[in-house]
Structure 1
Amino acid sequence: MDPNLLYWKSEGQAFLGRLKIWFRLLDPSSLLSSNAEIENARSTLGGARNLCEKDEHALTLSLSSVHADSGAPLPFLFRPPAFLPISAPLVVASLLPHSSVKPALLWQFLFQSYIAGFNYANRNSSSQQQAQTASLKQWLLIAGSVSYTTVAGALPFIIIHRLGITTAPLLNFFRSVLPIPLSAILASFSVLAIRSEESDNGVQVFDSNGNCIGISGAAGDQAVKDTALSRAALLGTTAAVPNVLLFLLQKRRLFQKNPLLVAPLRQVSAAVVFGLMVPVSFSLFPQLGTIKKEKLEKDLQAATVDSKLFYHRGL
């Protein structure tokens, strides 16, 4: 089992423990480390099982920059510490009440493209390590997912302009209410579509000693669904909280006298909520997920005596 997964096995099974770890791993300063430093950190960790006793900087660098299946450094833009700095301005811009369709489509395209790339780079690739490049099917899934989520994300503004909606209640519904469930659904859909090969091809499962016992489609399906739920929680909450906050504060005298305060409050609150929700959403489910033996395929059940198996969930 990879050193990263060994660490998550020993330290990352409780939610608060995972949350504390992710607050440390999301430090953007680790992005300054070169690939040579990352590889040196990996060699420092080696295959040791008492990873918490090793150099903390090397451990943090490995957990935040190395893919646990391939053992190779993740693409710079799609490492977990880069997620918040890059996606925060994109998600804020994509949630703005745009005055026309074109900027809504542009910001949705940029945001959904980055999310798709992050989902793909941080997937479980244990059953695909022999393939050097993504398959045609995978590229089609990525392109189709980005296209669909871009148009669907801008759908409220498309409806407003197509139908010429001008009444305040309908405008509030399409600009403030509809984006909340839509953001959660599209975030979940992106994970389910781009990582669907994990459900089809399966992922590696490990026994309690860290030995791989085979490839399981059931574990792959569970990994994808758990990650989709965590991403839905991230984007759904980010869309909901600013709108609820504005609804409550717009009745205050300060905002009635100064309506120009509404726009910056929306943007700042969206950025703050998103920043707080990133480590929370990453921590909702363990990086080293567990699955009961009876849920596995029959041949895998016969290959182990353990009642609980482990798999890499991805991110």
Structure 2
Amino acid sequence: MDPNLLHWKGQGQSFLGRLKIWSDLLDPTLLLSSDAEIQKAHFVLGSGEKPSEKDTTTAATLALSSVHADTGEVLPIIFRPPALLPISAPIVYAAFLPHNTVKSALLCQFLLQSYFTAFNFSNRNASSEKEKKISLKQLLLNVGTVSYATCAGTLPQIIINRLRVRSVSVQSFCRTVLPVPLAATLAFLNLSTVRSEETENGIQVFDSEGNSVGLSKAAAEKAVRETALSRAALIGTTAAGPSLIASLLQRTKFFKTRPLLLAPLRPFGVVFLLGLMIPVSFSLFPQLGTIKKENLEEELQAAVPDGHLYYHRGL
């Protein structure tokens, strides 16, 4: 078992524990570390040596934030967890803005879906993959996911423009209410589709000693479902929050007389909620998840001495 997963096993089994860890791992300054520093940190974490507690914490933070737990390779810098907020914040904000044309809405949705598709793929469970190169099937899945999600995400603007909607209430519904369940659903489908090969091939499961027992499709389905739910919570809450906050503030006496002050609050609200929800959504489920013996395939149940096995959930 990779040192990253062993660390999660020891310290990441409670929600508050995971939240504290992710709060440290999402520090953007970690992106300034070189590949050599990251690889050294990963080596120190798994070397079995007994460095100081400070060195151990520093090595764990750098390794967990930058190294893929299945391949042991350093993640591309723009798809590391600490890069998610700085890169996605302006894209998410632009995607949830009211647009005047379908083309502008399509462009913003394309950027949003492309980045999250690449992020989901880079942080997948890769334990069953024999080749490092992306397969043609996976490439087509990724391209199809981006194309479908881009068109579906632009649906509110298409409704307004193509049907020539003039009703203020209908426009408000299409721009503030409809995007919330739509964004959450697309985030769920995006991750589920991009990582569908895991459910077909299975992912590695481990015993309590960290030894690989085999590949399990049941564990893969659980891992993908949990991660998809966490991504839906992230995007759905970020989409709902700014409009909800704005509608509440509009009812106050202060903003009734100063409605123009609400405009600059929207980008702040998007960035604030996204930054708040990223560690929360990452912490909803353990990185090193467990699956009960009775939920495993029959051929794996005999290898379960203590009632459950472990699996890497991915991100």
Q: TM-score range by the shorter chain?
A: over 0.9
1:1-315 pair list within 5 angstroms: 1-48=1-48, 53=53, 55-128=56-129, 130-315=130-315
- The separation in 1 between residues aligned to 2:244 and 2:258, in whole angstroms, is 19
TM-score, normalising length from structure 2? 0.96
Q: SS at 1:55's partner residue? A: helix
Deviation of 1:44 after TM superposition, in Å, equals 1.6
Deviation of 1:48 after TM superposition, in Å, equals 2.8
What are the Cα deviations for residues 220-241 of structure 1, in whole angstroms up to 9, with x where unaligned? 0000000000000001111111
- The separation in 2 between residues aligned to 1:163 and 1:190, in whole angstroms, is 28
The gaps in structure 1 that reach 5 residues or longer are none
Deviation of 1:263 after TM superposition, in Å, equals 2.4
Amino acid at match of 1:204: Q
Deviation of 1:249 after TM superposition, in Å, equals 1.7
Deviation of 1:51 after TM superposition, in Å, equals 9.2
- The separation in 1 between residues aligned to 2:47 and 2:295, in whole angstroms, is 29
- The separation in 2 between residues aligned to 1:47 and 1:202, in whole angstroms, is 29
Instruction: Decide whether the 8 Å contact of 1:7 with 1:51 is kept in 2.
Output: no
What are the Cα deviations for residues 196-245 of structure 1, in whole angstroms up to 9, with x where unaligned? 01111000000111111000000000000000000000011111111111
Moved more, 301-310 or 72-81: 301-310
What are the Cα deviations for residues 86-105 of structure 1, in whole angstroms up to 9, with x where unaligned? 00111011001111111111
Deviation of 1:188 after TM superposition, in Å, equals 0.4
- The separation in 2 between residues aligned to 1:179 and 1:264, in whole angstroms, is 20
- The separation in 2 between residues aligned to 1:183 and 1:52, in whole angstroms, is 45
- The separation in 1 between residues aligned to 2:35 and 2:267, in whole angstroms, is 35
Q: Aligned in 2, Cα 1:52/1:167: closer, same or farther, shift over 3 Å?
A: farther
Deviation of 1:55 after TM superposition, in Å, equals 2.3
Moved more, 162-171 or 51-60: 51-60
- The separation in 1 between residues aligned to 2:199 and 2:132, in whole angstroms, is 20
What are the Cα deviations for residues 270-297 of structure 1, in whole angstroms up to 9, with x where unaligned? 1111110000000000000010011111
Q: Aligned in 2, Cα 1:168/1:49: closer, same or farther, shift over 3 Å?
A: farther
Instruction: Decide whether the 8 Å contact of 1:4 with 1:68 is kept in 2.
Output: yes
- The separation in 2 between residues aligned to 1:257 and 1:206, in whole angstroms, is 61
Instruction: Decide whether the 8 Å contact of 1:3 with 1:49 is kept in 2.
Output: no
- The separation in 2 between residues aligned to 1:256 and 1:305, in whole angstroms, is 65
Identity of aligned residues (%): 59
- The separation in 2 between residues aligned to 1:79 and 1:264, in whole angstroms, is 29
Q: Aligned in 2, Cα 1:252/1:295: closer, same or farther, shift over 3 Å?
A: same
**Number of residue equivalences:** 314
